[in-house]
Structure 1
C-alpha cells in the first residue's frame, strides 16, 4: 500500500540520515603533509554534528520521534489495508453503490495528509534542534579562530587534504561537549503556518 511505502521510506530516510551523520567518511590513506600554513584553519561542521554528544542526542531524539510517528500511522495503514482486502474479496456485492470505496479513498487521503504533516514536522524539528547546536558551537568556533590566529577558515568538506594541525574540529567538539553535553529533551515541533507554503 502506498502509505506503508511512504511511511517506511520516511523512517528509513531519517534512520539512514541519522546513521550516515554519525559515521564520518573513511579516512584517506596516510599522507606526508606539508608545513602548517599560518593563518589557515580547517573545520568540519558535519563532523562536529555527528561526533558531539549534543549531535548524538539529536540523532537519538529524531529516531525516537520517527518511531512515534510510525506508531501513530500504523493503525491507519492496517485499517485501510483490511478495508481494501474486504472490498477486493467482496467484489460488487460488498459495495454495490461504491460508497465504501469512496469512503476508503477519503480515509486514505486523510492518512496521507497526516503522514505528510508528520514528515514536515520531523524535518522542521530536526532543523530547529540542529540550529540549537550550531548556535552553541558558533562562539566556540569564533574563540578557536582567534586563539589559533586564523585568517582563513575552510570547511573541510571543500578540502581534499590538509595538515591535521590546522584542523580545529576536534577541539571544537571537546568544548561543545562541555558547553552542551546534550540537547534538552524535545518533542515534535508544529510547523508555523507561514512556513507551510
Structure 2
C-alpha cells in the first residue's frame, strides 16, 4: 500500500519536472468555450428560444382542445357510475360503449402528445442546424488566431481561467454572421412515427 502511494508520488514529481524542463514550443494551448452559453445568449439562440416557446404554447393549446372534452366525459361517467357496482355497469351497453370510447380517445390523446413532443424536438433541431453548421468555422478561426491546439467545452471542466474562455468572442462573431434564424414548426405525419416533414 505504502509502496503504491510512493510510486504515485514519484510519478507526479517526474511529470512536474518534465513539464518544467519541456521547451515552451511543446506546451499545449487550450481554449475553453461554453456551448450552452453560446446557444442561450447569441442573437440566433434567443430567436430560437422565443419562437420555440411560442410553438410549444400552440401545441399545448392543440392538446388541451382535444383532451378537455374527453376529461369532461370522464368526469360525467365517474359521476354516473359511482353509485353502481361493476356488474351493474357491465349490464348497461350504453355506459360500456361510452367507457370504451373514452379509453380509445385517451389513447389518441397520448399518441397526439407524443407526436407534438417529437415535432417540437424536430423543430428545435432544424432551427439549430444553421447555428451548429457555422460554429465550427468560427471556432477554427479563433484557434488559428490564438495558436490553440485544443478547445474544450466548459461543461466538461471543473475550472478554467476567464482568459482562455472564448465564449464571448464566439457569440460576437455568431451575432455578426447569423443575427437571426427561421424557426418553422416541423409537422410529423399523423401516425407520429416517421420522418419529419421539412
Query: CA contact under 8 A between 1:39 and 1:150: conserved in structure 2?
Result: yes
Aligned-residue CA RMSD (Å): 2.2
Q: With the length of structure 2 as denominator, give the TM-score of the two structures.
A: 0.73
For structure 1, which runs of at least 5 residues remain unmatched after alignment? Answer: 1-36
TM-score, normalised to structure 1, is 0.73
Q: How does 1:83-122 map to 2 (within 5 A)?
A: 83-91=73-81, 96-97=92-93, 98-122=96-120
User: 2:40 — aligned with what?
Assistant: 50
Number of residue pairs matched by the alignment: 159
Match of 1:179 in 2: 177
* C-alpha distance in 2 between matches for 1:45 and 1:80: 43
Kindly report structure 1 stretches of 4+ aligned residues shifted beyond 6 Å: none
The offset of 1:94, in angstroms, is 8.8
Greater shift, 93-102 or 103-112, is seen at: 93-102
2:11 is aligned to none
Partner of 1:66: 56
SS in 2 for 1:181: coil
Alignment correspondent of 2:137: 139
Instruction: Determine which structure has more spread, i.e. the larger CA radius of gyration.
Output: 2
Hey, what does 2:194 align to over in structure 1? 193
CA distance, structure 1, for counterparts of residue 122 and residue 65 of structure 2: 24
**CA deviations over 1:26-64 (Å, ceiling 9, x no partner):** xxxxxxxxxxx7622111111100110111111111101
State the partner residue of 2:21: none
Structure 2: runs of 5+ lacking an equivalent: 1-26
Choose 185-194 or 57-66, whichever is displaced more.
Answer: 185-194
